[in-house]
Structure 1
Amino acid sequence: RLRDKFERQVEKAGLDAVSTLVVNDAELDPKAYLDALLEVHTKYSAIVTQHLYGDVGFVGSLSKACIAFINQNSMTATMSSKSPDLLVRYADRSLRKDNSTEGADIEGALDRLMTVFNYLEDKDVFSHFYAARLSKRLIYGVSASDEREADMISRLGKACGAEYTSKLRQMLTDATKYYQMRHSGRKLTWLWNYSRNELRTNYLDQRYILMTSSYQMAILLLYNSHNLLSLSELITATSIPKEIITQVLAVLVNARILVDEESEQYGLNSSFKSKKIRVNVNQPIKAEGSGQTEVMRAVEEDRKYAIQATIVRIMKAQKSMTNQQLVQEVVEQVSQRFTPQIPIIRKAIDILLEKEYLTREGDALIRSVELFSPARPVHLFTFFLRCFKFNSGT
């Protein structure tokens, strides 16, 4: 049929556009990726609107093709989370202070982002990546404005519902006040590497302002009373774990603020010079970073509980369903946020049977009389803490 041919043509055009980018740019620029996807979408959307009079069948074919090439292309072949990651990086760039884009253009940039986002299958992966980037913008104070952040979250809410963005909205509130109000008896452990400090140098001909993390500040202040310090002495004095302090020292040595005098001996560089008066050495370290592996692990964990909660909700309403009917209904309900794998759904059903939330009678699944949601409670601030990697204890 003509619609099928149209769908295949659009999908091929999208796949070819991404493949061309991958060949020309190994480190794909998020804007280039989004532009390539939108160019194909805009071209064929215009054809449907102007030449096919907005025919519903062709609109559906266009949608299917866009879903296909946005979620499964040469970029996602090696990493399924690549599309969500690139879209989040595009949003991050658009919402930063150092972005030169004017207000109206930012609106346009977010509109373009949402056009592609609506075709994204793994919206929950996008949410995790977005939360991590949002947390860094807030911590480092590089967000363009609270209004822009709220606007973007509002757009996501319109697309996916209030529940999808509830955790993101809570992140805009003050962390300490909220946590102490909810958990007055617990200890809040801060991520010192994400802090910002300023140190003024007094030992050089030219005075500089060093912008550091608290880890870096703790190390540099020791040189007020020492000329040379060993790695073990630095660890003892600061209580910074070895796997972290070695990375912090590497940054300071690369910035030529410290010199590695000999094996694991560090001293101040008395010849330090810089063209800038304000020297920023506050760089992320790997030990504190939130890598894609960790994000995907959190995504899989959340999906497991989301599927179980969906099963419970369905069975509360339907009372009795066959196994196949239940699987199909779960797929339909959760597909707005992510594409569930059938084996994971079946495993979730088995878990609920073992816990006696469900019972089986012949080919039918019956909800138990006493049925409570098995979903792990994900309180608003729990997600916020995970993004920041705080550890809390009673």
Structure 2
Amino acid sequence: MYLQGGTEKLSDEAIEDTLEKVVKLLAYISDKDLFAEFYRKKLARRLLFDKSSSDDHERAILARLKQQCGAQFTSKMEGMVTDLQLARDKQQQFEEWRTSQNKSLRIDLTVTVLTTGFWPSYKATDLALPQEMVDGVEQFKEFYEASVKHRKLTWIYSLGNCHLKGNFDAKPIELVITTSQAALLLLFNSGEQLTYEEVKERLNAGDDDVIRLLHSLSCAKHKVLLKEPANRTINKSDSFKLNVKFTDRMRRVKIPLPPVDERKKVVEDVDKDRRYAIDAAVVRTMKSRKVLKHQQLVLEVVQQLQRMFHPDFRLIKKRIEDLISREYLERDKDDPNTFKYMA
């Protein structure tokens, strides 16, 4: 919470002391790789949504984690912090390019370019954007492709956010929403009523995404859309229209999307990485030893990996069998419990 902007203000010394204690606690955590992946997810959100209290504090705790767990533990996280500074520089270059090319847009556009290998994986969608946004995307692509060769941009609209001015009957209200929510609301600029299926088709989005978007705008606290029937469940037979009577005591309203439980995906990603780590440890050990009995191989693999996690013996056995099937190892013909490395 001390790294999150907007929380209780503490002195730099108090924050440093707290971070030091947090890192010391890490020594007692057996599954450090799982901690690292959850931490990387939280760090990504702080950086991307400008929620971090200080880049210096982020770098300070990463330096301590690096000292405690090694450079490999923090390499991606350090890359994320550096990446964001490079992205700010790229945005400045984009603004200068637009000025030099005499390019104009109907919207204010900020693009954050990230390096795929550093950041958590995010779902990319072919969201059908309104023309105002399409113009901005095409303009940035033109700038980027002219300045960077052999790199491909993948647009992650789920991480975008928009400030949209809603001209309601009572008063104008600024809506702080995601790019996807903005694309949906702009469908209603004509004042027409749209069915669930029409919204889905025009957005070119899947059912899960459409349901989350419509629920956030018609069933939550801020009902910018009115739905028929007027209940709290989104069904494919529903229809929607703009709530022109919508008002709020504030002139700026933030409308979040329903949270997605990412814990399952994080655990799945860590399990996949562990399989790769075990494979690498087995091959590395057998390449140096050439011939080894099963028990000794398992012990050496555990010894190599226990700094990050305690691998399950059954999983190691399963990975050994997989490496045998892929012809990295073979069993000794006279002793099935002895393995040979296959060059």
Quick check: TM above 0.5?
Answer: yes
One-letter amino acid of the structure 2 residue matched with residue 304 of structure 1: R
Classify the secondary structure of the residue corresponding to 1:232: helix
How far 1:118 sits from its partner (Å)? 0.9
Look up the match of 1:258: 225
Alignment of 1:184-263 (within 5 A): 184=150, 186=152, 188-190=154-156, 192-253=157-218, 254=220, 255-262=222-229
Matched to 1:176, the amino acid is: V
Pairwise CA RMSD of aligned residues? 2.3
CA distance in 2, matches of 1:367, 1:232: 58
Letter matched to residue 95 of structure 1: L
Residue number among 2, 12, 17 corresponding to 1:108 in the alignment: 17
1:303-318 correspondence to structure 2 within 5 Å:
303-318=274-289
Instruction: Note the alpha carbon deviations across 1:241-291, whole angstroms, 9 max, x for none.
Output: 2221121111111212111143612122222221222100033453xx5x2
**Closer, same or farther in 2 for the Cα pair 1:236/1:350, shift >3 Å?**
closer
Which of 96, 109, 113 is the equivalent residue of 2:4?
Answer: 96
Name the structure 2 match of 1:332: 303
Percent identity between matched residues is: 30
| Counterpart residue number, 1:271 | 245
| Residues 339-378 of structure 1: per-residue CA shift (max 9 Å, x gap) | 111111122222222323223333543323x2xxxxxxxx
Instruction: Give the match's secondary structure for 2:245.
Output: coil
Distance 1:101 1:318 in 2: 55
- 8 Å CA contact 1:196, 1:282 repeated in 2: no
Q: Which runs of 5+ in 2 are unaligned?
A: 88-111, 117-143, 230-236
> What SS does structure 2 have at the residue aligned with 1:94?
coil
SS of alignment partner, residue 15 of structure 2: helix
Q: Please say if residues 212 and 257 of structure 2, whose CA atoms lie closer than 8 Å, have aligned partners that are also in contact.
A: no
1:244–1:106: structure 2 CA closer, same or farther, 3 Å change rule? same
Report if aligned partners of 2:170, 2:245 keep a CA contact under 8 Å in 1.
Answer: no
More deviation in 151-160 or 302-311?
151-160
Q: Specify the SS of the correspondent of 2:167.
A: coil
Larger fraction in helix:
1
**C-alpha displacement of 1:183:** 8.7
Question: Is residue 296 of structure 2 the alignment partner of residue 322 of structure 1?
Answer: no
Tell me which residue corresponds to 1:349.
320
Q: Distance in 2 between matches of 1:133 and 1:336?
A: 22
Give distance in 2, aligned partners of 1:178 and 1:298.
Answer: 18
Distance in 1, Cα, partners of 2:186 & 2:78: 38
CA distance, structure 2, for counterparts of residue 106 and residue 283 of structure 1: 31
Shift in CA distance, 187/228, structure 1 to aligned 2, threshold 3 Å = same
1:189 CA drift (Å):
3.5
Q: How far does the alpha carbon of each residue in 1:57-112 deviate from its partner, in whole angstroms, 9 at most, with x for none?
A: xxxxxxxxxxxxxxxxxxxxxxxxxxxxxxxxxxxx22111221412222222122
Residues 172-183 of structure 1 aligned to structure 2 (within 5 Å): 172=81, 173=83, 174=87, 176=113, 178=115
Please tell me whether the aligned partners of residues 201 and 210 of structure 1 are also in contact (alpha carbons under 8 angstroms).
Answer: yes
Matched to 1:259, the amino acid is L
3-state SS of paired residue (1:199):
strand
Report the Cα distance in structure 1 between the residues aligned to 2:68 and 2:60, rounded to whole angstroms.
Answer: 13
Q: Report the alpha carbon displacement of residue 305 of structure 1 after superposing the two structures with TM.
A: 1.0
